[in-house]
Structure 1
Amino acid sequence: MAEKPERGDDHLDPAVRRVVWTVLVGGMAVLFDTTIVAVGIRTLATELDVSLSTIQWVSTSYLLALGVAVPLVGWAQRVLGGRRLWMLALAVFLAGSILCSLSWDAGSLIAFRTVQGLGGGMLMPLMTTMVMQAARGQNLGKLAATIGLPIALGPIVGPVIGGLILHNLHWSWMFWVNVPFCVVGLVLAGRFLPRDAAPRMLPLDVVGLLLLAPGLVGLLFGLSNVSKDGGFGRTDVWLPAAAGVVLVSGFCLWALPRGRRALVDIRLLRHKPLWTSSALMFLSGFGLFGAMFLLPLYFLELRGHDVLGAALLLIPQGVGALLSRLVLSRFIDRVGPRWISLASFLVAALATVPFAVAGAQTSQWWLGGVLLVRGLGLGSALIPLMAHAFSGLAHDDVPDASIVSRLLQQLGGSFGTAVLATVLASGTTHAVTLADGAVAFDHAFWWAVGFTGLAVVLSFLLPAHRAQEPGATPEPPRTAARSLSRR
């Protein structure tokens, strides 16, 4: 057994470092895939000779598969073990990627994207779970900065890769590019991830699954349709979303008295670090990731760039996100999450304002500098939240906490994108001139600024000081779980 680091030593244990880089390699395939495919939707519609509304199901089917897979991760990990589940999920994602590359029409591509989504939906929360469990409360900030790197870079680097592929290669290479990540990830997992105990039989909360999975699918499906004509007033928006709210609410009522026997132990939200961080992660979907929906459209529709040009113009934001993580990883475990979160959201908000006031003559160099600064805020905003969410949690509580935080972040991103898409659509529907379209974008960017500003205010809910000394062994919450089970 590796020795614990001395007090004040913020270097990662070599075994933990191996786990981190092993799951990052596999996780990057999932994180880049989503954004790479997003930029290729129009190309796919043309190449496969179908309408844009039909090919949109390539993204929608993937998103809905996530809603089914994510809630199952905690139970599946307890049954199979983290290593086995990781390799199974990565193999499913690999198979889905190869099948997508070989698709012969839109229907087959949509079906195979569902397979991809099932694998990807398991990989994302499991990536956080395995790293946090391996760390056992040590250097959570540095770990959050490391595993959060592809999460920040995915929406920025993905479109660049997608644009380059579509500009120079066949569309199928959007999926072939995942294969090396998956193959190398499987090899590394077989070698470096800790061995699991023998599989065990545990009862599945079938009622909880039948409530939560279709509830999430309804919410995600409804929100994915908001960008179409009619916005929130569309039947295929409010009806599935309303059904989703009812089902998720029903799951909460079902799960609360069952605790650990439920599909997801939502009682962990009584653990203050988890609920405050998760609430801010939800809100970050509005200001941070909702704006990521606006920026490519801004360069495409107002600035007249093609897909590759728009993607390349977003590179400064990726550079900023990378720099923020390199800097923060050196000291994040020595300060409290409040001030880092507050400063990050404030920088992101201020760096969004120039896009709300930019005109046709605004210098591209100026906007590039603004994107670099925005990347600094975007890249560092979620790091303290991820680290704080898991502080004080027991080893066995981490899987459910990962699911809760991941779902709230996913729903926040979907809901934020839906709101900003509605604001943008309401202004562009009746736009006659380019100036009218510019006003619509201005309004949407101001909404993004406002939501990010609200996150600045809510950052005061986070502690101003770090909760534990580096090297201290956290009290396993069973502070959050065992104490709850006694109630």
Structure 2
Amino acid sequence: MTTPPDTKAADAADDKLDIGVFKIAGVVVLGAIMSILDVTVVTVAIPTFQHDFNTTYAIAAWSMTGYTLALATVIPLTGWAADRFGTKRLYMMALVFFVIGSVLCSTAWNIESLIAFRVIQGLGGGMLMPLGMTIMTHAAGPTRIGRVMAVLGVPMLLGPIGGPILGGWLIDSFSWHWIFLINLPIGIIALILAYTIFPRDNPEPSQSFDFLGMLLASPGLAAFLFGVSSIPGEGTIKSAKVLIPAIIGLALLVAFVFHALRTEHPLIELRLFKNQSLRYAVMTMTLFAMAFFGSGLLLPSYLQQVRGESTLAAGLLIAPQGLGAMLTMPIAGRLVDKIGPGKIVLTGISIMAVSMAALTQVKADTPYPLLCGVLFVMGLGMGCTMMPTMTAAIQTLTHGEVARGSTLMNIVNQTAGSIGTATISVVLTTLLNHRPEAKMAIASNYDPRVAQQVPAPVLAQGFDQAAQAFAHTFVVATVLLLATLIPAFFLPRTKPAAPASVDAPAVVH
């Protein structure tokens, strides 16, 4: 029996992303851009904070660490809070927190006040991404998750690239205050649009709040990430500043695992790991985030420290990576909905691994066209990897599980990214410390007196050694990407079936 042509046409129409979904996606992307950009844009401003507030680099860097730890603390609460208060109301509240925190940051009078206000900002920012994923997934329905996740992936990829460019321009043209004040008009627009466009939700809170889970998971995650993020500054894992918080945090997280498996409604639903697709997606995302976010700091550092480029120039040179990702991401999103994520993710990781392997040959005079070409190809692979992996985790969940699944994936992303960044930082620092000429050459880019005192041949040798240290560090990122192929091999390679029990999601038209 054949399906009538008009029925096929109706099915095809229902399968397309309609204007209602695109409106919701636009609001979510607006909030995500603010949240993610603020992670990277402040990195550029740390030397400015150090100068203006007369403090050390290590203390100024807490403007980054405080924000990250606030994110880690609040993400575990998002799943429960979304069920309790509704995604629309909670998203608007998160926007308000983020905007208020941004305005307060612009009024900071010393480094301590800035760090405190960054924590307030992070409490709002931490909820925006998992809530955005939940809202978009509910709006699109299970058959269109790949495409809406591709839309949400744009700010996740552009943040690391656009942050240094935007931050450098705002600081050079105006002042550091504007890297925070720019969030005020954007946030107000996002708040109005969220109120107008997001569908009304009617939460029916039936679950009690897991207080013990909160006391274990949120401080545990924050303490563990604090220990891990202290590794680059300390230069060793053996430091008390690293070991004590990391061990305490790990102990709290292990205790939470035992608690969550025995509790009917835990703060983070670990029983979702029974879902095979989510399990392999989490393993893939863990290794990928370690490689991607870890290696993300290498190229900007290479361009500034070895090639002597400004922050703005470094950001522009890395832009081809984002352009490549923007080309393949919409295509990958459509294909994931039709044939499943497995083949797409394997292809993307393979392309990225080949590109990363090419960067292991980087030298002090590698031509920029060649470098930009490699980054563009890597971006093509990146667009086929991150959001399709997220889709693999979420598309087989029921309507009621999506908020918890989004929360879980964001925790994995945040934790793995921090571990990857710390690992890559330690490897690079160790390699540079064993090359004194390299450290001297890098110092000459920041201090003209060094360049005047050291003979040119010695400096040239130092830059060669520095480039070699970066090249060897790219080997670690390449190995992590190759390891990602193992769990990715088990991701679904067919169009996913609808979840077993779906609580009739409200598909927006």
What per-residue deviation string (whole Å, max 9, x for no partner) do you get for residues 173-219 of structure 1?
A: 11112222211110111101111326758532111000001110111
What per-residue deviation string (whole Å, max 9, x for no partner) do you get for residues 386-438 of structure 1?
A: 11111221111111111111101111111111111111011112322223322
Match of 1:456 among 485, 492, 507: 485
CA distance in 2, matches of 1:26, 1:184: 10
Match of 1:441 among 460, 464, 470: 470
CA distance in 2, matches of 1:268, 1:398: 10
Give the TM-score normalised by the residue count of structure 1: 0.93
What per-residue deviation string (whole Å, max 9, x for no partner) do you get for residues 36-55 of structure 1?
A: 11122112211221110111
CA distance in 1, matches of 2:234, 2:333: 44
Specify every segment of 5 or more residues in structure 2 that has no aligned partner in the other structure, as ranges: 1-6, 438-461, 504-509
Larger gyration radius, structure 1 or structure 2: 2
Write the mapping of 1:179-198 to structure 2, written as runs, cut at 5 A: 179-197=184-202
Are the aligned partners of 1:316 and 1:368 in contact in 2 as well (CA < 8 Å)? Answer: yes
Partner of 1:258: 263
Partner of 1:153: 158
Match of 2:416 among 412, 416, 421: 412
Q: 1:121 and 2:156 equivalent?
A: no
- Change in Cα spacing, 1:199 to 1:475, as seen in structure 2 (3 Å) is closer
303-312 or 16-25, larger mean C-alpha shift? 16-25
Q: What is the Cα deviation at residue 8 of structure 1? A: 4.1
Are the aligned partners of 2:400 and 2:502 in contact in 1 as well (CA < 8 Å)? Answer: no
CA distance in 2, matches of 1:200, 1:271: 24
Partner of 1:484: none
CA distance in 2, matches of 1:326, 1:264: 30
What per-residue deviation string (whole Å, max 9, x for no partner) do you get for residues 326-380 of structure 1?
A: 3324433222211111111111111122321122221111101111111111222
Partner of 1:400: 404
Q: Which amino acid aligns with 1:116?
A: Q
CA distance in 1, matches of 2:367, 2:45: 28
Are the aligned partners of 1:33 and 1:158 in contact in 2 as well (CA < 8 Å)? Answer: yes
Equivalences, count = 471
Q: 1:25 and 2:30 equivalent?
A: yes
- Say what the alpha-carbon RMSD is for the aligned residues: 1.9
CA distance in 1, matches of 2:147, 2:330: 10
Partner of 1:310: 314
- Change in Cα spacing, 1:398 to 1:457, as seen in structure 2 (3 Å) is same
Partner of 2:90: 85
**Secondary structure of 1:154's match?**
helix
CA distance in 2, matches of 1:477, 1:39: 45
Partner of 1:277: 281
Specify every segment of 5 or more residues in structure 1 that has no aligned partner in the other structure, as ranges: 479-487
Are the aligned partners of 1:321 and 1:377 in contact in 2 as well (CA < 8 Å)? Answer: yes
Q: 1:105 and 2:110 equivalent?
A: yes
Q: What is the Cα deviation at residue 284 of structure 1? A: 0.9
Write the mapping of 1:131-210 to structure 2, written as runs, cut at 5 A: 131-197=136-202, 203-210=208-215
Are the aligned partners of 2:63 and 2:115 in contact in 1 as well (CA < 8 Å)? Answer: yes
Q: What is the Cα deviation at residue 17 of structure 1? A: 2.5
Match of 2:392 among 388, 391, 396: 388
What per-residue deviation string (whole Å, max 9, x for no partner) do you get for residues 34-92 of structure 1?
A: 11111221122112211101111101111111121111111211221111100000000
Identity of aligned residues (%): 36
CA distance in 1, matches of 2:238, 2:501: 46
Are the aligned partners of 2:58 and 2:233 in contact in 1 as well (CA < 8 Å)? Answer: no
CA distance in 2, matches of 1:407, 1:198: 24
Q: 1:354 and 2:379 equivalent?
A: no
Partner of 1:212: 217
CA distance in 2, matches of 1:176, 1:4: 50
CA distance in 2, matches of 1:207, 1:107: 30
Are the aligned partners of 1:392 and 1:476 in contact in 2 as well (CA < 8 Å)? Answer: no
Q: Runs ≥4 in structure 1, deviation > 6 angstroms? A: none
